[in-house]
Each structure stands twice: as structure tokens, then as C-alpha cells.
A and B are shown apart, each in its own frame.
Chain A
Amino acid sequence: MLDYVLIVLQSLFLLIITPLFVGILKRMKAFIRGYQGAKITQPYYDIKRLFNKGMVVSNSSSFVSIFGPSICLAFSIVISLLVPVFYTNNIINFGNVFLVIFMLAVIKIITTLIGLDCASTFGGMGSSRESFISLFAEPVMLLTLSVLYFESNNFNVFKISYAISNTDITVAHILALASFFILVLAENARMPVDNPETHLELTMVHEAMILDISGRNLAFIELASSIKFIVFATLLINLFLPFGIATSISIYSIFISIVIYILKMIVVLFVIAIIRTSIAKFRLFKVPELLASAFSLSIISIAMLYFNL
């Protein structure tokens, strides 16, 4: 019983801390670029401000634009229940990897639909690009997850995390980690694939789709996408680098686990910030090459696992 309470608690923790992480990421980027950025709590204020604003809905748009963002948010909240944050054990039965992945995909689909729904050119472009990228990203995702399966013989996120936290890290595992990291960048519209900061570039992907959303809906969808990003990063941390995660219920271990989680998350965000500031955005047609490298890495890691390196 206490397990389930803890899981709900950790998902709440994830939801609450998400805007903070986004703020930290922005602050890091500002720091690397050499200017003083906004406060790290700024995303909370942004969301609050958007909630207070009125909503403008395009005449040509249908119910998708109105309900879509709230569906996205709902899905992202459900997903946050299915991932381990600072506590995992071997007996939890929900949290199938594919469930997590495909619920993330549902968010993506609905965002794409929103982009198409407003009938603006930017929206359509953004949607088509998003589907183009995920076309290449999806097989890599499955392969990377099968690496995890080969390692732990399990498809349950919690159990995978539990199993891997008890084993040594192999070469294949690190390769899969690199592959998943590229996926995190690609699926969440991060830098080499998409520039999340601009609303002006013709090459934007994510921002193009939500260009016509405003007010509370914009808050929903921003929150949903940042939760999605943090969930991906959490998966990266807890599936591929799960050392230090709490596996038993004691206040001390959970406290340590939370600290380690936050530290690891900050490291991941720092790496992302460095990549973001040091690499120029790829041309759209070079994105498949990036994902192909991820594909290659995951194939090699599967082969290494399978043939016992």
C-alpha cells in the first residue's frame, strides 16, 4: 500500500518540479552564453500569467484546438504516474514501457492534429516535420527499449529500473544510453533537431504547431510538453543510469535518492544546454542521419548483448 502512496507522491513531485527544471535549463543556457537569464522559477510565473489570459480561438479551427491541449495535459499527468522518479521496486505491476512510450506518442499526435487544425501554413508545416522526425525516431525507440529488455528480461519500467540498478554497467548499456539521449533530443524538439526558442524561423517544428494556441490552452500545452521532456529525461536517468535510486522504503534512502535524482537531472540538463549552445541546428534532412546514428548505436548494443560482449 505504501508503495502506491509513494508512487503517487513521486509523480506529484515530478509534476511540481518540472517547471523548475525547465527554468534551470534556461538559466544554464543563459549562463553558458554569458548573459544573466531569468530566475529559475520563471516558468511558474509564465504559466500563471497564461492562465489569467483570455483565449483567442481561430474561426477556422474545430473542437481539436479547444480540447486538444487539455487532453495533452491529462495524458502527461497520467504518464508521470507510470515512471519511477526516486523510488522503484520489483513488485509494481503497472508501468509497461510500451504504454509509456505510446502515451507519449499520443501527446505527439494530438499536438500534430492541433497544428493541422488551425489551417495556418505554419501549423501544417510543423506537423509534417514532426511526423517526419518521429517516423525515424520510432524504430530507434523500440530498438533501444529492446536493449533494456535483453538486459533485464522485463518490460515494466519499474522492474527494469530495479534490475539495472543492481547490475554493472556494460558497454552495450552505455551505447544504448547514447542512443536514447539522441532520442530525447529528437523527440522533444531540442537543439540539433529544432530550436525551441524561436517563433520566427521557418524551420521551427514544435513552435510552429502551437502558434495559434493562446491563453489557458497554451499554458496546458506548454506544461504538457515540458512534462513530456522531463519524463523523457527521467526515463533516461532511471532506466539507463539508475544507480542511487531508492529500492526500499526508508526516509533516509528516499531523501538520498531525491538528492541524487536532482543532481543527475541537473547534469543531464547541463549536457543538453551545452549541446544547445554549441551546435547549430541541423537542416531538416540531416535529422534522419542523426537518428540513423542512434539506430546504429542501438543495433550495435543489441548485438553486443546478444553475442555476449
Chain B
Amino acid sequence: MNLLITLTLLSTVAMSGFRRLKLMTGTFMIQSLSIAFICFFLGYETNEAHYYALGMLTILIKAIVIPIIMNKSINKLKTAREMNMIINGYWSYIFSSIFVVIALMLLKNFRQDLIKTGLVLILFGTFILITRKKAINQMIGFLTVENGIVLIELSTVQMNLAIEFGIF
């Protein structure tokens, strides 16, 4: 469990400074996969079927379909990397880490790993959204935010499957 959370965090942190689009989609895939496995893990622990369903959905949509579509559209593009980010890689790493520290400080009272991880994902996703200019990178940022929400939702409230699908 800890390992999966760490994998999610690592891929997210790595994402915030990457330039090459293909690398972005690759790390996004890793992130989604690890979130799917977190779902499976929770399902295994609680024996509830909807976790499995959510994990399967995540794998199917976010780890297979979306990266394939993105890679296809990247192949059509001429430039394979983000040339002028608004904030360069170095500072984007540092800024995003500082944001995360502030966020964790705010959520001091919460005792769950997944909420905090979800918040970190949301923040990094927003950061990617703000600093990148390429549409695909912005998409990835947005999807990262969505992954974060899936994590938060997993940890706080157990919704019905229909609503989870709606969130998705």
C-alpha cells in the first residue's frame, strides 16, 4: 500500500518538470496504474466489489485508452516537447514542492494517507495546467487532478458505483 502511494507520488513529482510529451504520457500511465492497484488493494481489504470495478475502469480508460490516444496525437505533432514553459523545470519542481508543503500543513488534522496524496495530486495537476502551454500537457494536468479526486473519494466516502462512474 505504502509502496503504491509512493509510486503515485513519485510519478506525479517527476511529471511536474518533464518536457517531453511522450515521457509525460508514460508517467501518467504509471500513475493511473498505481491508483488502479490501490483500488484493487482496497477491494481486497474490504471485500467490496465496487473497488474492483473502479480499478478496472481506471486501468481501462486512464492507463490504456487515453495514453494511446495521446500518443497518436503526439505522433502527429511536429514538436515532441514543450519548448517554453511559463516556469522552467527547476523552479517548477521547487514551487510545486513548496505548495505541497503548505497543503500538507493545512491538512494536518487528517489522519489518512490517501486524502493527502490526493491533495498532492490535485495540486501538482493544477500546477501542470497552469505552467504548460501545450494542449496535451494541459489535458494530462487535468487528468492528474481527476486521479487525485479518485484518491480522495476512495478514502473519505464510499459512494455508489453509479456516482463513482459519474465522477469518473
Contact = CB atoms under 8 A, between A and B. Distances in A.
Interface string A72-93: 0000000000000000000000
Looking at chain B's contact residues, the main secondary structure is: helix
A92 B113 CA distance: 35
Contacts of B116: 304, 309
Contact of B10 (A170, A286, A297, A309): A297
Interface residues on A, range: 20 to 34
B5 A171 contact: yes
Nearest to B88: A289
Interface string B123-154: 00000000000000000000000000000000
Given A307-B105, A307-B107, A295 B100 contact: no
From B16, B104, B111, residue with most partner A Cβ within 10 Å: B104
User: What band does the interface of chain B fall in when counting residues whose beta carbon is under 8 Å from A?
Assistant: 20 to 34
Interface string A292-308: 11011101101110011
Given A171-B9, A292-B94, A307-B105, A300 B100 contact: yes
Q: Which of A174, A295, A302 has the most CB of B within 10 A?
A: A174
Given A288-B90, A295-B93, A309 B113 contact: yes
A175 interface: yes
Of A178, A286, A302, A307, which is in contact with the most chain B CB atoms at under 10 Å from its CB? Answer: A307
A169 interface: yes
Nearest to A292: B93
B83 to A, nearest CB: 14
B113 A171 contact: yes
B2 A296 contact: no
Given A288-B90, A289-B90, A175 B113 contact: no
A289 B14 CA distance: 10
B13 A297 contact: yes
Contacts, number: 72
Contact of B97 (A170, A295, A309): A295
Contacts of B113: 171, 309
Contacts of A303: 100-101, 104-105
Nearest to A169: B2
A300 B9 contact: yes
Contacts of A174: 2-3, 6
Contacts of B78: none
Contact of A293 (B93, B100, B108): B93
Contacts of A304: 104, 116
Contacts of A289: 17, 88-90, 93
A309 B13 contact: no
B25 interface: no
A300 B13 contact: yes
Residue of B91, B97, B120 most packed against chain A (CB within 10 A) = B97
Specify which of A289, A293, A303, A308 lies most central, judged by the most chain B CB atoms within 10 Å of its CB.
A293
A296 B10 CA distance: 10
B90 A296 contact: no
A304 B98 CA distance: 12
A308 B17 CA distance: 27
Contacts of B58: none
Contact of B17 (A178, A292, A300): A292
Contacts of A171: 2, 5-6, 9, 113, 117
B96 interface: yes
B97 A307 contact: no
A171 B13 CA distance: 14
A300 B93 contact: no
A299 B89 contact: no
A236 B5 CA distance: 21
A123 to B, nearest CB: 27
